[in-house]
Amino acid sequence: MTRTIRIGTRGSALALAQTGTIADALRRAGENVEIVKVSTAGDRDRSVPVSQLGVGVYTSALRDALQAKQIDVAVHSYKDLPTAPESGLVLAAVPPRADPRDALIARDGLTLGELPPGSTVGTGALRRTTQLRALGLGLELVPIRGNIDTRMGKVFDGELDAVVLARAGLDRTGKTDKITETLDPIQMLPAPAQGALAVECRVDDVDIEHLLQSTLDDEVTRAAVTAERAMLAALEAGCSAPVGALAEVVEDLDENGSVIERISLRGVAAAGLDGESVELIRASAVGDKSDAERLGRELAAELLDLGAGALSGPGRNSR
């Protein structure tokens, strides 16, 4: 009998779309696959801000199902995955990344700069609220939760003037045409690993690991998100934090004039979250592609030197 690979996913439209692309790629490689929906804490409880539910609210139920052998593969939004590794599991593949930037959906086709002072902008993530506040546009930031449709709906029904969402989620669910502005990373750095997927399996499932790696893994995406996540891990010291990061693989010349690939990493962190005032610290660095992890750690050290340390506290939410 041929094996069937059980792929676990959250049941949201976005998660199913993401997992569908993974399932298709494995089918093209000749595998039998079955998609298994797993409900997570983040899906069940919409009343509480994610920052209060703790880390891994969208991912731990999937990891539990993997450990319990109810599924063979877990597909996560990489940015939802805690930075701490989980023993018994391995990150077998990081597929090519979608657009990592954040997007604005505003009433009447408005851009961020066109929103009048006092406009209401919905977002639950501290990373987004701190960066939006730092722009000094006088926006009123409103905490919201829910899936993409729920959040977008608050603009269409007039409850809010705008919402900020990950562009990748909108693209993957066919809602690109609702975007009124894709935010430049100079204004709004995305969450570390935003737009990327993490495909996990059990560490002792060596066959599956090799299959996932050879069919799905993208080396450039892996290098970029490794730098971003190393920065996050070094900054948050065990809990999540309002941190943005974006790494891009760029071509450079070495001392002999040969073309080499390097990683350019930008990071942002809040120095303090004191009432309405927020000071943001930004830094950037370029390093060897083969040393992505170190680049991330070094940029985190620089941000901490510049004062980013003041923000670490329990239950902060990086998204």
Ligand X SMILES: NCc1[nH]cc(CCC(=O)O)c1CC(=O)O
Distance between terminal CA atoms of the chain? 43
Q: Which of 5, 6, 58, 201 binds ligand X (CB under 6 A)?
A: 58
Stretch that binds ligand X, among 75-83, 86-94, 136-144, 205-213 (CB under 6 A): 75-83
Q: Comparing C-alpha atoms, which of 76, 83, 87, 97 is closest to residue 198?
A: 76
Considering the complex, state which of residue 200 and residue 205 has its C-beta at the smaller distance from ligand X.
200
Considering the complex, state which of residue 77 and residue 131 has its C-beta at the smaller distance from ligand X.
77
Stretch that binds ligand X, among 1-9, 164-172, 230-238, 299-307 (CB under 6 A): 164-172
43 annotated active-site: no
Sort strands 162-166 and 102-106 into parallel, antiparallel or unpaired.
antiparallel
Q: How far is the CB of 247 from ligand X (least distance, A)?
A: 15
Q: Does 168 bind ligand X (CB under 6 A)?
A: yes
- Write out the two tokens for 74: 């877990």
Q: Which of 166, 216, 247, 295 binds ligand X (CB under 6 A)?
A: 166
Q: Which of 38, 66, 165, 263 binds ligand X (CB under 6 A)?
A: 165
Q: Does 132 bind ligand X (CB under 6 A)?
A: no
- Write out the two tokens for 302: 């620089």
Q: How far is the CB of 104 from ligand X (least distance, A)?
A: 12
Sheet of 277-288, strands arranged across? 243-253, 259-274, 277-288
- Write out the two tokens for 114: 């066109």
Q: Which of 72, 80, 161, 205 is catalytic?
A: 80
Q: How far is the CB of 257 from ligand X (least distance, A)?
A: 37
How many residues at the interface with ligand X, by CB under 6 A?
A: 11
Considering the complex, state which of residue 77 and residue 83 has its C-beta at the smaller distance from ligand X.
77
Q: How far is the CB of 207 from ligand X (least distance, A)?
A: 28
User: What backbone phi and psi angles, to 5 degrees, belong to 254?
Assistant: -85, -175
HSE, CB side, 13 Å, CA atoms: give it for residue 241. 31
Considering the complex, state which of residue 46 and residue 69 has its C-beta at the smaller distance from ligand X.
46
Q: Which of 56, 122, 192, 195 binds ligand X (CB under 6 A)?
A: 195
Q: Which of 169, 244, 267, 296 binds ligand X (CB under 6 A)?
A: 169
Q: How far is the CB of 72 from ligand X (least distance, A)?
A: 22
Q: Which of 131, 194, 240, 318 binds ligand X (CB under 6 A)?
A: 194
- CB atoms under 10 Å from CB of 112, counted, come to 21
**Is-contact 139 188, C-beta < 8 A?**
no
Q: Residue 102 — left, alpha, or beta (φ > 0 → left; ψ -120 to 50 → alpha)?
A: beta
Q: Does 77 bind ligand X (CB under 6 A)?
A: yes
Determine whether 257 is exposed, middle or buried from the number of CB atoms within 10 Å of its CB (0-12, 13-18, 19+): exposed
Q: How far is the CB of 166 from ligand X (least distance, A)?
A: 4
Distance (Å, whole) CA 192 – CA 293:
13
Q: Residue 267 — left, alpha, or beta (φ > 0 → left; ψ -120 to 50 → alpha)?
A: beta
Q: Does 19 bind ligand X (CB under 6 A)?
A: no
Q: How far is the CB of 169 from ligand X (least distance, A)?
A: 3
Distance (Å, whole) CA 253 – CA 22:
35
Determine whether 217 is exposed, middle or buried from the number of CB atoms within 10 Å of its CB (0-12, 13-18, 19+): middle
Q: Which of 33, 38, 73, 80 binds ligand X (CB under 6 A)?
A: 80
Q: Does 79 bind ligand X (CB under 6 A)?
A: yes
**Residues that bind ligand X in the complex, under the rule CB under 6 A:** 58, 77, 79-80, 165-166, 168-169, 194-195, 319
Query: Catalytic positions, please?
Result: 80
